C-alpha cells in the first residue's frame, strides 16, 4: 500500500491550491480529483472575479492550469473518487478510492458542495445559457435585462441584490409568502427599487432557444400558471455539501458543512477541511483557493510537529 504525507480529497480550487502548497513544502502529496478537474469552477463559462485575469478566463481552462501547477511541483493527481475515509489507531488515515487503498499522515477534504437544482424541464439544458447558480459570477452578463431569482433564503436575497445592481429588474420567485432570509437582508431587499417578489410560486419550466427566454410559473395556492419573459433564472435554493465521508468523524453544522477553526482544522488531528465543504464558506473560487492554502500550511505545521516529536523520541 502506498503511503503519502498528505492526501487531498477533491480537485477544485481548494484542493488543487492545497496540492500546490503541500507539494512545494516537499511533502508527498496525492489529490483525488473525482471524475473531472476543477469541481464547480469547471462548469463556469467565464470567471471574471479571480484576480489576475482582467479579461476573464474560462473556468475549465483555469482549473487545468491549477492542475498543471500542482503536478509541476510533484503532486500526484488521480481521477478517482474516494469512497471511504477512516482514521487508524496510529493516527494515520486510510482512504479507499474506486481503484485502490492508500494511507496518508494528513488529509485535506475539499469535496465541495453541489447546488440544489430545481429539477424542472429546461434547467439542465440551459445551465450556463441563462440558468445560473452564482449571482456574483454571472450577474454582469445580464446588465439591463429582466431576470428571475428563485428562493427565499439569505443566498437568494443577498445574491439577488447583487444581480439587481446590473439587471433592469429582478423578480424573486419564492414558494411561500414570507422570506426565510435574515431581517436585515429582507429590509434591504424590500428597499431595492428594481427588485419585485412573486409569492407562493414555483418555476415549472424554463424555456428558450439556446438561451433562457421565459419561465413558466405556477402559483401553489391557486394553481394558476403564467409565463414570464426573462433572460436568466438564478437558482438559490440551498446547497448540499459532499460531506458523507466525514460523517461520524468530524462535527458538521446544521447544513452538513464541516466545522473548522480559522486554520481549517477539524476536531480530528491531521484532518483539515477547506472550501465549500466547510462551514461559513464565502463560496467563491478565490476564497476556496485561500482556504486550500491555509489548510496545506496547517497540515505542514501538523506534520512538522509530528516529525519533531518522533525525532525527540529517538
Ligand atoms: P437556505 O437558507 O436553505 O434557503 C433555501 C431557500 O430556497 C428557502 O427559502 C427555501 O424555501 C427555498 N427552496 C428550497 N428548496 C426549494 C425548491 N425545491 N423550490 C423552490 N424553493 C426552494 O439556503 P441558502 O439561502 O443558500 O443559505 C444557506 C446558508 O448560508 C444559511 O445558513 C444562510 O444563512 C447562509 N448564508 C448567509 C448569507 C449572509 O449572511 N449574507 C448569504 C448566503 C448564505 P423555504 O423558505 O420555503 O424553505
pLDDT tens figures, 248-267: 999 999 999 999 999 999 99
Q: How many CA atoms within 13 Å lie on the side-chain side of 256?
A: 13
What pLDDT is attached to residue 307? 93
User: Quick one: 122 and 107 in the same domain?
Assistant: no
Residue nearest to atom 46 of ligand 1 (CA): 180
Instruction: Pull the grid cell for residue 278.
Output: 466547510
Q: What is the mean pLDDT of residues 276-305?
A: 96
Confidence of residue 35 (pLDDT cuts 50, 70, 90): confident
Write the CA distances from 161 to 15, 100, 193, 194, integer angstroms: 30, 47, 10, 9
Confidence of residue 313 (pLDDT cuts 50, 70, 90): low
- Please state the length of the chain: 314
- Kindly report whether the global pTM for this prediction surpasses the value 0.75: yes
* CATH number where 169 lies: 3.50.50.60
Question: Which residue in the list 45, 114, 137, 158 is annotated as catalytic?
Answer: 137
* CB-defined site of ligand 1, < 6 Å: 118, 150-156, 158, 175-176, 180, 202, 236-239, 255
Question: Which residue in the list 5, 138, 158, 291 is annotated as catalytic?
Answer: 138
User: Quick one: 131 and 231 in the same domain?
Assistant: yes
Known catalytic membership, residue 146: no
User: Quick one: 246 and 212 in the same domain?
Assistant: no
User: Quick one: 278 and 262 in the same domain?
Assistant: yes
User: Quick one: 125 and 142 in the same domain?
Assistant: yes
Which of 235, 255, 286 is the last residue in one of the domains? 235
Q: Give the range of the structural domain holding residue 17, as residue numbers without chain letter.
A: 2-114+239-313
* CA dihedral over 203, 128, 182, 198, signed as positive or negative: negative
Q: What does the mean pLDDT of the chain come to?
A: 95
- In total, how many domains does the chain have? 2
The torsion angles phi and psi of 59, rounded to 5 degrees, stand at -60, -40
Known catalytic membership, residue 138: yes
Q: What is the Cα–Cα distance from 221 to 297, expressed in whole angstroms?
A: 53
Confidence of residue 241 (pLDDT cuts 50, 70, 90): very high
Contacts of 170 (CB under 8 A, 6+ apart): 147, 148, 149, 160, 163, 164, 192, 194, 195, 196
CB atoms closer than 10 angstroms to residue 39 = 28
User: Quick one: 39 and 104 in the same domain?
Assistant: yes
- Residue 93: is its pLDDT beyond 90? yes
Q: What is the Cα–Cα distance from 176 to 151, expressed in whole angstroms?
A: 9
Which of 205, 235, 265 is the last residue in one of the domains? 235
Known catalytic membership, residue 90: no
Read off the pLDDT of residues 164-200 as tens digits, 9 standing for 90 and up.
999 999 999 999 999 999 999 999 999 999 999 999 9
Read off the pLDDT of residues 119-147 as tens digits, 9 standing for 90 and up.
999 999 999 999 999 888 899 999 999 99
Per-residue buried b or exposed e for 262-289, using 16+ beta carbons within 10 Å of the residue's own CB: eebbbebebbbbbbbbbbebebbbebbb
User: Quick one: 103 and 249 in the same domain?
Assistant: yes
What pLDDT is attached to residue 169? 98
Confidence of residue 36 (pLDDT cuts 50, 70, 90): confident
Which of 177, 203, 235 is the last residue in one of the domains? 235
User: Quick one: 264 and 300 in the same domain?
Assistant: yes
Amino acid at each position: 500500500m502506498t503511503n503519502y504525507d498528505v492526501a487531498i480529497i477533491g480537485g477544485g480550487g481548494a484542493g488543487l491550491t492545497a496540492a500546490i502548497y503541500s507539494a512545494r513544502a516537499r511533502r508527498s502529496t496525492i489529490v483525488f480529483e473525482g471524475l473531472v478537474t476543477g469541481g464547480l469552477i469547471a462548469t463556469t463559462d467565464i470567471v471574471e472575479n479571480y484576480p489576475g485575469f482582467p479579461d476573464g478566463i474560462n473556468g475549465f481552462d483555469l482549473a487545468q492550469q491549477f492542475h498543471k501547477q500542482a503536478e509541476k511541483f510533484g503532486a500526484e493527481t488521480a481521477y478517482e473518487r474516494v469512497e471511504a475515509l477512516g482514521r487508524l489507531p496510529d493516527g494515520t488515515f486510510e482512504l479507499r478510492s474506486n481503484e485502490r487503498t492508500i494511507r496518508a499522515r494528513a488529509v485535506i477534504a475539499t469535496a465541495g458542495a453541489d447546488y440544489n437544482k430545481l429539477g424542472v424541464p429546461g434547467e439542465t439544458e440551459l445551465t450556463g445559457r441563462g440558468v445560473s447558480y452564482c449571482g456574483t459570477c454571472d450577474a454582469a452578463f445580464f446588465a439591463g435585462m429582466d431576470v428571475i431569482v428563485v428562493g427565499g433564503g439569505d443566498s437568494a436575497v443577498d445574491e439577488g441584490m447583487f444581480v439587481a445592481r446590473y439587471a433592469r429588474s429582478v423578480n424573486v420567485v419564492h414558494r411561500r409568502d414570507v422570506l426565510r432570509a435574515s431581517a436585515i437582508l429582507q429590509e434591504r431587499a424590500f428597499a431595492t427599487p428594481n427588485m419585485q417578489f412573486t409569492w407562493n410560486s414555483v418555476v415549472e419550466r424554463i424555456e428558450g432557444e439556446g438561451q433562457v427566454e421565459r419561465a413558466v410559473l405556477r402559483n401553489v395556492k391557486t394553481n394558476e400558471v403564467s409565463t414570464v419573459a426573462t433572460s436568466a433564472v438564478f437558482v438559490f435554493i440551498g446547497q448540499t455539501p459532499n460531506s458523507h465521508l466525514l460523517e461520524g468523524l468530524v462535527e458538521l453544522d446544521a447544513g452538513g458543512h464541516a466545522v473548522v477553526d480559522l486554520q481549517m482544522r477539524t476536531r480530528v488531528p491531521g484532518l483539515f477541511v477547506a472550501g465549500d465543504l466547510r462551514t461559513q464558506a464565502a463560496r467563491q473560487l478565490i476564497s476556496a483557493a485561500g482556504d486550500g492554502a491555509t489548510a496545506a500550511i496547517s497540515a505542514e505545521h501538523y506534520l512538522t510537529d509530528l516529525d519533531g516529536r518522533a525525532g525527540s523520541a529517538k
